[in-house]
Structure 1
Amino acid sequence: MESEKSTTCSDLHVVMFPFFAFGHISPFVQLSNKLSSHGVKISFFSAPSNVNRIMSMLNDASTTQIIPLTIPHVEGLPPGVESTADLNPTQAELLKVALDLMQPQIKTLLSKLKPHFVLFDFAQEWLPKLATELGIKTVFYSVFIALSTAFITVPSRLPEPGRYPTLEEMKKPPPGFPQTSITSVRTFEARDFLYMFKRFHGKPCVYDRVLSGLQGCSVILAKTCNEMEAPYINYVKSQFKKPVLLVGPGVPVPPSDQLEAKWAKWFDKFEANSVIYCSFGSETFLTDEQIKELALGLELTGLPFFLVLNFPSNVDVSTELKRALPEGFLERVEGKGKIHTGWVQQQQILAHKSVGCYLCHAGFSSVIEAIVNDCQLVMLPQKGDQFLNSKLVHGDLKAGVEVNRKDDDGSFEKEDIKSAVETVMVKINQEPGQSIRANQKKWKEFLLNKDIQNNFIKHLVKEMEAIAGIGH
């Protein structure tokens, strides 16, 4: 774990209040570790069942105190289940209902703690008003890249007041959007984005929550940097007319433990940079058809591969695998291809010398992990911000390749997988593979430059102190 203690010491006290999903909690913990190493005092709000996992993610020198919240009873929400990882999508919506009922509890806690800032998430759009009444400044911490905010959740996204966009309108960028490689999105992506405008349980939709939070907060904080996203950061500033502070892209701390021996032994059999590691995160589940085409595509490359497939917790994994994998597939790839379900030591695998390619869902943390470990990126995004992450990396940064898909339903075939992988793994002396590899190397140097990355946090602490009126 990263435990180098900075010499700087700050009088800042910050409350962290992420949504109860580990895709949101993790970036808040990562930021807590960085701020804590600069002497910032952190109080971290979360549900009781998430506390142990948060504790295990904090670095050794962290001064963060975790404050467990009481989750109110909501009809249909299983008691004791307090993160989206253990819930189906309908129940996950009920977590937002529970969150809305927590306002009196949060008000009491903030009155006692009296922090300078509360860093909050997309679902707590009621927080700015509540905190302002207590004289506390609020920071909307977006755990998504600036392109995501710029394309979907700016005020100009609405075609006219009170009317949400149609599918066709959602395919185009909002008015005033900067001129970049991103000129439109495909039909299946726009259809996915329309979820942002769906209401559940008579509550505000995600777009309304996000917009209200961004408009109500004192400061917007984004997990990105100008080097990667200046046009989108500037567009967000112009839309909200308030400070937009930057955390930097969030480079993961190298793991302290080694890759488990049985896996190290398997990877050791192969040449350097020859293995494709393929995983879509713990909460993304592919359809049978996608699994089949992906598996056949990996086989077609002729390269060794390690494929991680996850399934919802209520299904029998062996039955699902049997149904989804092509007939005779496991026999044909024996010794060269490995299928695994469940958790794996992802960072250690990506760092292994034989792994040269990471085929993933383009979650931004995964993208960064691939680049710092010198793994070529092949992206097959599945939902939400992943589509825009992939467009940024493939289109603007030109540091990875996206799998070709059909416009209407996002389906792909085995040849699309093979072609994308070959661009960066086989045709490395041809374009665009050569440029992609060169750009990936450039971004790796940028991300691994400790001074640059440390300066993001140094500047952030200084700016927050200035806004809070703390002098040195």
Structure 2
Amino acid sequence: MLPLFLPLAERITLGERLKMSGTQCDMIAFRTFRELEGYYLDYIQQEVQRPVFPVGHTLLPPPATPLVEKMQIWLGRFEPKSVVYCSFGSECTLPLDQLQEILLGLELTGFPFLVALRPPEEADCIESALPEGFKTRTQERGWVTGEWVQQQHILGHESVGCFITHCGASSAAEGLMSECQLVLLPYLITDRFVSAKVMSQDMRVGVEVERGDEDGLFDRYGVCKAVMQVMNNVEDGVGKEVKINHDKLRRVLLSPELESSWYQEFETKLKQRLSMM
């Protein structure tokens, strides 16, 4: 095994470390499923001429505690599959202007929405980050919180029909295992942009929010457009296509034998490889 994290004094880039690790190791294991990224596993294996094995994702079990009553009651006010849920995880903090563009984009859709985002650094709390007049205009159909929420419960609620995700590994997996239409809005970390491209262009299981060519920023109109594409066209067009593809993949991911089968296969391949050394 070759350590990926070499001493900083070596002064080599992360890309160089990855290349060195890939070409000097005996085998490579990735935390993924072949059903998800088999094409890319085969590509890497061909490029580095080393055996490449998927070891599966750690799929989280269903929550043991019920959804908090206050949120259960609020979500229960709306029609099935009508609520748009947006969360960027517990660590991602958006700048004030980009957070407001998401909120204004959701307002433009006309759909009810639940937003769980960390307050931006420019604001003391999530309330002070809201666009002017936003709370008054959307108080009957919108809930914005800066606190942690029970995401798996929310994604599984019958009223929630769309998930705007930053494409973090855990959130992407939870989104894929839900019945929600997926809107992809990667932020900050490079692999999230790669995940968004794979999910939107290769798997065709979601729609990515458009960004400006020069500044790479998104705006309210791009957010609104992506949500409308997946929520208004479930009988035809893009919405229907991503729903069909997502449903097929979700059934595979929810197979009880999937995770254990990849662990077992990896264990077998690893033992075979070690016996040859």
> TM-score, normalization: structure 1?
0.55
Q: AA paired with 1:241?
A: Q
Partner deviation per Cα, 1:100-134 (whole Å, 9 max, x = no partner): xxxxxxxxxxxxxxxxxx797x5x247xxxxxxxx
Residue 352 of structure 1 corresponds to 157
CA distance in 2, matches of 1:214, 1:281: 30
Residue 108 of structure 2 corresponds to 300
| 1:315 Cα deviation from its structure 2 partner | 6.7
Secondary structure of the 1:357 match is strand
| 1:309 Cα deviation from its structure 2 partner | 1.5
Q: AA paired with 1:421?
A: V
Is 1:412 aligned to residue 218 of structure 2? yes
Residue 259 of structure 2 corresponds to 453
**Partner residue of 1:254 out of 59, 62, 70:** 62
CA distance in 1, matches of 2:208, 2:158: 24
Secondary structure of the 1:432 match is helix
Residue 136 of structure 2 corresponds to 331
Q: How does 1:140-155 map to 2 (within 5 A)?
A: none
Partner deviation per Cα, 1:134-155 (whole Å, 9 max, x = no partner): xxxxxxxxxxxxxxxxxxxxxx
Give the greater-gyration-radius structure (CA).
1
| 1:321 Cα deviation from its structure 2 partner | 4.6
Q: AA paired with 2:182?
A: L
| 1:454 Cα deviation from its structure 2 partner | 2.3
Tell me if the contact between 1:125 and 1:213 (Cα under 8 Å) persists in the aligned partners. Answer: no
Q: AA paired with 1:206?
A: L
Aligned in 2, Cα 1:381/1:374: closer, same or farther, shift over 3 Å?
A: same
Q: AA paired with 1:351?
A: G
Is 1:365 aligned to residue 167 of structure 2? no
Secondary structure of the 1:248 match is coil
Secondary structure of the 1:417 match is helix
| 1:467 Cα deviation from its structure 2 partner | 2.3
Aligned in 2, Cα 1:458/1:403: closer, same or farther, shift over 3 Å?
A: same
Tell me if the contact between 2:2 and 2:24 (Cα under 8 Å) persists in the aligned partners. Answer: no
**Partner residue of 1:443 out of 229, 249, 254:** 249
Q: AA paired with 2:29?
A: L
CA distance in 2, matches of 1:365, 1:410: 24
Q: How does 1:82-93 map to 2 (within 5 A)?
A: none
Q: Percent identity?
A: 35
Is 1:380 aligned to residue 185 of structure 2? yes
CA distance in 1, matches of 2:207, 2:9: 39
The 10-residue stretch of structure 1 (379-388 or 458-467) with the greater mean CA deviation from structure 2: 458-467
Partner deviation per Cα, 1:256-303 (whole Å, 9 max, x = no partner): 222122222222222221111101112222122211211111011111
Is 1:223 aligned to residue 31 of structure 2? yes
CA distance in 1, matches of 2:2, 2:140: 48
Q: AA paired with 1:420?
A: A
Q: AA paired with 2:156?
A: A
CA distance in 1, matches of 2:9, 2:79: 54
> TM-score, normalization: structure 2?
0.90
Say which structure, 1 or 2, has more relative contact order (CA 8 Å, 6+ apart): 2
**Partner residue of 1:285 out of 93, 101, 116:** 93
| 1:343 Cα deviation from its structure 2 partner | 1.7
Tell me if the contact between 1:237 and 1:243 (Cα under 8 Å) persists in the aligned partners. Answer: yes
| 1:214 Cα deviation from its structure 2 partner | 2.8
Aligned length: 275
Tell me if the contact between 2:96 and 2:123 (Cα under 8 Å) persists in the aligned partners. Answer: no
Aligned in 2, Cα 1:203/1:257: closer, same or farther, shift over 3 Å?
A: farther
Tell me if the contact between 2:96 and 2:122 (Cα under 8 Å) persists in the aligned partners. Answer: no
Secondary structure of the 1:365 match is helix
| 1:397 Cα deviation from its structure 2 partner | 0.5
Q: Which runs of 5+ in 1 are unaligned?
A: 1-117, 127-199
Q: How does 1:86-105 map to 2 (within 5 A)?
A: none
**Partner residue of 1:213 out of 21, 28, 32:** 21
Q: AA paired with 2:243?
A: R
Q: Which runs of 5+ in 2 are unaligned?
A: none
CA distance in 2, matches of 1:363, 1:403: 15
| 1:386 Cα deviation from its structure 2 partner | 0.8
Is 1:269 aligned to residue 77 of structure 2? yes
Q: AA paired with 1:450?
A: P
